[in-house]
Amino acid sequence: MSMPLESVPFSELLRQPAETAERLARARAVRLRRRDAADLVLMSADRAEAEGEVVDLTARLLASLVRRDPALVREALPTVLPWVRFLPPADAQQMADQFIATAEAAAAVGSTAALSQLLAEWRHTAEVHADPDLHRVLTAPSAGDFGPVTRPDGE
């Protein structure tokens, strides 16, 4: 069982740095909540190195297994990621193939960001397939051009 992730306002770190750092003795890490920016995570360097080693080993092990038997990963994905069951068979196969290729590439460059992005994209696709009304709306033919799209705020 993993240790809990405590959450505190970023301002608490600024006001009480020693007390906030002491929380690391009770928690795996401390999430620093920020109002106008992405949250940060504070953890000990030893723990960060240990977790990085585990992630790296796991990625390289997965890449090795994939090279040996790609079918094993295709069979295991619905068990590890239950939402894969919502994908049509052809999409599930494509997702597995992309996962295998991306996992191998991620292990080679030492970054899991692309793999995380791929999983998020396929999870959203599965969510669409899981909701018949949403799927119908998104797959219905459109009636031409809907005009210019305004740039989102902040860009």
C-alpha atoms less than 13 angstroms from C-alpha of 97 in its C-beta half-sphere: 6
Name the percent of the chain lying above pLDDT 70: 97
Q: Residue 26: what are its φ and ψ, rounded to 5°? A: -100, -15
What dotted CATH number matches 5-43?
Answer: 3.40.1620
What residue spans define the domains of the chain? 5-43, 46-138
| Prediction pTM value | 0.66
User: What digits encode the pLDDT tens for the residues 51-104?
Assistant: 888 877 887 787 788 778 878 888 888 999 999 999 999 999 999 889 888 887
Q: Closest Cα partner for 59 from 15, 7, 9, 112?
A: 112
